[in-house]
Structure 1
Amino acid sequence: MTTRLIPLALIALTAALPLQQGAAWAAPMLVQAEPPEVQDSDRPAHRPAAPAPEFRGLAGPYLAARMAAIQNDYRNAATYYLQALAQDDTDGYLQDSALVALISAGEMERATALAVTMSDQGRATELARLVQRAELAKAGRWDDLIAAIDTTPTPETGGDASGGGALVDGMMRAWALLGAGKAGESLSAFKKLATLRGAGPMVNYHLALAKAKVGDFEGAEELLADPATGAHILGVVARAQVLSQLERNRDAIAMLEGTPGFAEEPHLMALRDRMAKGETLAFDSIRTPSDGIAQVFLTFGSVLATSDEPDPLALIHVRLAEYLAPGLGEAHLLTAQLLQGFGQFDLAEREFEKLRELGDMRPIAELSRIDALARAERLDDAEKAALALTAAHPELAQGWIALGDLLRQQDKFGQAVPAYDKALSLIGDQNPEARWFPLYARGIALERSGQFSKAEADLRAALKIRADSPQVLNYLGYSLVDRNEKLDEALRLIKRAVELRPDDGYILDSLAWAYYRLGRYSEAVAPMERAVAAMASDSLVNDHMGDIYWMVGRQREAEIQWHRALSLKPETEAETRRIRAKLERGLDAVLSEEKANGGKLPELRAPEPRNPEPAGAD
């Protein structure tokens, strides 16, 4: 039975009521989400994207660009769209598509140049205008930015009101007013925006930053003290700085230490230590209004990233945040996580590298990076990163869990056990819910390293914490079935897992195999056929199907399944040899040989070639 490395969910997001413009407030949070419940190794294979070949004419590069875009291959999509534009530089659709691909790939210089071209040609789209505004903010051309926003068509004049555009414009304009030296107008603009339904927490966070920027730390603290406004990592850092400026280091320290996830955030711990020594923190969460606009983009990028399938516009907004504030670590982290979600692991690694260049080695970023490397099948690099994380932060249980997962994925089960041991010792007994997954994972590692009695104890301990965990029920049940032990209990465990996940191919395979072990062959057929339908490319499931068909008298179909299992390359040579023996001598003979040899297939000489069947035989 195989298991996959558990992906780590490394960012939690909060949201307020929906805005009239269609947006909501969310920001990267401190608390790490729990790993999702998964069953088996189904990571998509990944290879670095090959260089985009040249195409002649317009149709070729356009179709290639569309295919690359569908696959979220942003670099090749950008290359192909630009090739298409070389054939027709007046097509607005091609221009906007190229702009999306360039920004998504992080090619901001080329993106800004294309946005200027689109504007010069009189075909600036909403996205092109957004890029131009970011460029104006980066250059500090505040009056020009205000004018560009003020002349944008509104819904009343035929403009587009979708995607929160009016609110984004309004917040950018408020920051631009501050940049233009009009602090009073800026604060008034923020206050007006905060009255929009559902926009209050989002806007009040930016209003707090603006107040602190102009020295109104009392007003900033009043806003940031509201959890709806400041309960995210950027808000926590800003509030600590504000409190320190108000000579309230003790309150700031208490606030930091009471923040969920504080012990896993070295940056917050460093702020605490500095204030404990009597240092007054400078307020540098916002250095310029351009930084404020970067956080506007990050805010909306976070909002759009909150769904199970993030909106592609989330990546656009966060890329713009990076462009305006290259030192904004949260933007690089969210970009990396979005790229992971879109399957672009090499691009994600570039973002993690930027974080390291910034000296931002937070465990939450390193855990996400380890996951990205593993998904990119760079297992050696992922293991080195996990070892480095556990060396730098030996007190972090999630680091040891990540290391154990990586070792387990590489079949280093014996080495994985001590990693899970360390994680469980760090978690202790005070938080049972946090123990179930490392207990389950250690149980797998122990079972796969031949220590079943210890494995069984871990799996049962995990079940005491989560009695309805389908993967734990299935793993324990299947392990008992595979050992031909406690078959009635095993069947009961697996049936419960099937109730919880009726379409899971691995669990259906376990159920069918339990029936097989109990000699209830006819009952095994239906669940095994469903398992094969769900997992047609799995060698073991097809092998099991063959055994069951044989036992119900369907020998020809059994042989077909065994041939298919061989073609799918079984995991071990022993499995391959056993399937070939069944094809040569039949399952009955193989089982008889195994029974006479202590449960193992004896080593036999290679059989003589069988005579071919006569032509025309059934």
Structure 2
Amino acid sequence: MHRSLVPCTALAAVLSCAVPLAARCSPVVPSPVSAAVDRGPAVAAGAYLAGIVAGHEGDSSQAADFMFRALAADPNSMAVRAPAFLFAAMAGDPRAARLASLPGSGMIGALVSANQAASSGDWRAAANAYAGLNDLPLAHAVRPLLLAWALQGEGRTDDALQVLAQVPGNSPLAGAVALEAGSIADYAGKVAAAASLYRTVQGVFQASGLGSVQLIGSYLARNGHPAEAAAMVQALAQRIPAIGMIAPGLVRSLDRPVISSPSEGLARAYLAIALAMLDGENAASADSARDGRPPGEGHEVVRFMLRFALVMDPHLTAARLSLADLIAPAHPHAALELLGAVPASDPLSPLVSLRIATLLASTGQTAASLDRLHAITASLPDRPEPWQTLGDVLSDAKQFGAAIPAYDRAMAARRKLNGGHLSGDDWQLLFARAVAFDRQNQWTKARADLDHALALSPTEPFLLNYLGYSLVERNEDLPQARTLIRRALVAKPDDGAIRDSLGWVMLREGDVPGAVTTLERAAEQNPEDPTVNFHLGAAYWAAGRHTEAEDQWRWALVLGPDSADADKIRDALKRAEQASAQSEGAAK
């Protein structure tokens, strides 16, 4: 049925950078899956193909192992050397440095070489390498941040600050530059300079993300202003409610320096670059969606930047969370492995644990996910996020009766935090409970939650479509249902599920030609959706196109509908067979 749910995006909000990178950038290296296997020893070809498969599955480390095995068997194969470098760089494998000078390795190769020098403590070589980055627009933008920390590694604090001071104030990374300048001054013990630079970050760039709160809050706490530091954390929690899960541990962590080495500073610079690029990519994708253009290319370069952050500081949990969030849709097991290395003592560990729980559920490990969520709710009983996630996992497992009390607890916690009421994004919580009520045949309660959710977010297409479709299924107030669904389609004109709902209400209202046209378009958009194909079959049947209707229903069964929809489709086919038999009998 087409009443789809909404994914939670709280993590992206928690980690977002205050200053987006305006220009999107394409990958600076070729995709490894495009390389052709050279004719060579069979072992090289086999290892190469195994590496490609591992890479497709998101295991860059194993892919690199296979590629280097292939390279050992066929050392002169450029077709193997290129993906070996790429996978090793993506995995943070030090062997990548051996291939970083490959022709065409571009900025990524230069950064791998520079990082290798920094990791070995050769800060002069690292500074020279960062200073010599080529003149690609992205390299030009990121060079000052990386070069400054390499200079600080040499002990050249004034030179490092001078490099950052030369970055124009209208640079897309200007806010990140000011923050890094403050952290360099802070690390070097230049208290007055750090104070001035941090005030610029707060005042001019209004930076208030997690990274800036950690760095500036730590400076304040260590220099006699712990209350002001704690207030920064609380303000962040007000703006991003999920921060409330980690606020106490975050405040406790502020009494010690965030950056204890130039390598850790480099890691935070890479993280700032990655988050700025990701913000720019997301903004571009949103613009393209509004303009009807195809979305942008993937986040390959962002992934490299996050991986480089972890090369320089494996304990930078914010980078682990960001990278896991980026790769999880395609490679949830790789994301789980990435987050599994975060210790329970880390201030961000409650966020990590909650993310692990959702990943466990997405990989079919529902029991392990529920065990973890029960432990989190026991340790944080007054936070809504664990309870809401518990409800979501139970709902996904079709345990709707158990999900409702979890949503009740989440709602009570949210009201307590909000002064007794729900607001803003709480429509998602109401929506989730409404679905659980609906699946438990408690429509009156579901309708009340949907109406409340729409009062909080009147233009949300998921809500409009769910309520409209539910009314159609119950054959209640079809004009209102059509109005709701049309409003949803205006908000998301390319959504095939919403278009299907519109075609369904048109069919129920007797507009058969309009329903056929609309549902055919929905089937073009979602060709493998069993519900869409079932509805199109019903429209064909109403139009007298019986053979096409039966074909459509049979195809819908092949697509694997849920049990309720499968029963409806089989009933339709059975009625069609009976009608055909009666027609043949009448003809005789």
What TM-score comes out, normalization by structure 2 length?
Answer: 0.81
2:226 equivalent to 1:256: no
What is the 5 A alignment of 1:22-421? 56=42, 74-75=60-61, 77-79=63-65, 81-91=67-77, 94-104=80-90, 106=91, 108=92, 111-116=93-98, 119=101, 126-149=107-130, 152=132, 160-193=134-167, 197-225=171-199, 226-227=201-202, 228=205, 230-259=207-236, 260-261=239-240, 264-270=243-249, 272=251, 281-282=255-256, 284-306=257-279, 307-308=281-282, 310-341=298-329, 343-356=330-343, 359-421=346-408
User: Which amino acid letter does the alignment assign opposite residue 89 of structure 1?
Assistant: P
Q: Contact between 1:474 and 1:507, CA under 8 Å: does it hold in 2? A: yes
Q: Contact between 1:436 and 1:466, CA under 8 Å: does it hold in 2? A: yes
1:548-577 C-alpha deviation (Å, 9 max, x unpaired): 3223322222222232233334422x6545
2:466 alignment counterpart: 475
The verdict on how the C-alpha distance between 1:557 and 1:224 changes in structure 2, with shifts beyond 3 A counting, is same
Distance in 2 (CA, whole Å) between partners of 1:147 and 1:576 is: 65
The verdict on how the C-alpha distance between 1:528 and 1:223 changes in structure 2, with shifts beyond 3 A counting, is same
Distance in 1 (CA, whole Å) between partners of 2:103 and 2:487 is: 63
The verdict on how the C-alpha distance between 1:589 and 1:480 changes in structure 2, with shifts beyond 3 A counting, is farther
1:205-233 C-alpha deviation (Å, 9 max, x unpaired): 12211111122223212222332275222
2:562 alignment counterpart: 571
Distance in 1 (CA, whole Å) between partners of 2:219 and 2:568 is: 70
Note the C-alpha offset of 1:265. Answer: 4.3
Q: Contact between 1:100 and 1:316, CA under 8 Å: does it hold in 2? A: no
The verdict on how the C-alpha distance between 1:527 and 1:562 changes in structure 2, with shifts beyond 3 A counting, is same
Note the C-alpha offset of 1:197. Answer: 4.0
What is the 5 A alignment of 1:502-581? 502-572=493-563, 576=566, 579-581=569-571
The count of residues paired between Structure 1 and Structure 2 equals 542
Note the C-alpha offset of 1:287. Answer: 0.7
The verdict on how the C-alpha distance between 1:420 and 1:372 changes in structure 2, with shifts beyond 3 A counting, is same
- Between the aligned residues of both structures, percent identity stands at 29
User: Which amino acid letter does the alignment assign opposite residue 263 of structure 2?
Assistant: S
The verdict on how the C-alpha distance between 1:207 and 1:538 changes in structure 2, with shifts beyond 3 A counting, is closer
Q: Contact between 2:3 and 2:469, CA under 8 Å: does it hold in 1? A: no
Note the C-alpha offset of 1:68. Answer: 6.4
1:326-365 C-alpha deviation (Å, 9 max, x unpaired): 2211121112112225x11111111211123553454433
Quick check: which one's helix share is greater? 2
Distance in 2 (CA, whole Å) between partners of 1:315 and 1:559 is: 47
Note the C-alpha offset of 1:173. Answer: 3.3
User: Which amino acid letter does the alignment assign opposite residue 393 of structure 2?
Assistant: L
1:161-192 C-alpha deviation (Å, 9 max, x unpaired): 11532454443333233332333333333333
1:392-413 C-alpha deviation (Å, 9 max, x unpaired): 2222223222222222111111
Q: Contact between 2:18 and 2:175, CA under 8 Å: does it hold in 1? A: no
Note the C-alpha offset of 1:458. Answer: 1.4
Tell which deviates more after alignment, 59-68 or 91-100: 59-68
Note the C-alpha offset of 1:446. Answer: 0.8
1:24-75 C-alpha deviation (Å, 9 max, x unpaired): xxxxxxxxxxxxxxxxxxxxxxxxxxxxxx9827667667766765775635
2:286 alignment counterpart: none
Note the C-alpha offset of 1:450. Answer: 0.6
Secondary structure of 1:355's counterpart equals coil
The verdict on how the C-alpha distance between 1:310 and 1:374 changes in structure 2, with shifts beyond 3 A counting, is farther
The verdict on how the C-alpha distance between 1:543 and 1:252 changes in structure 2, with shifts beyond 3 A counting, is closer
What TM-score comes out, normalization by structure 1 length?
Answer: 0.77
2:30 alignment counterpart: none
Distance in 1 (CA, whole Å) between partners of 2:352 and 2:70 is: 37
The verdict on how the C-alpha distance between 1:261 and 1:466 changes in structure 2, with shifts beyond 3 A counting, is closer
1:388-435 C-alpha deviation (Å, 9 max, x unpaired): 332222222232222222221111112222222222222225442233
Note the C-alpha offset of 1:146. Answer: 3.2
Note the C-alpha offset of 1:20. Answer: 10
Distance in 1 (CA, whole Å) between partners of 2:122 and 2:152 is: 12
User: Which amino acid letter does the alignment assign opposite residue 530 of structure 1?
Assistant: R
What is the 5 A alignment of 1:424-439? 424-428=411-415, 430-439=421-430
Q: Which runs of 5+ in 1 are unaligned?
A: 24-53, 155-159, 276-280, 591-609, 614-618
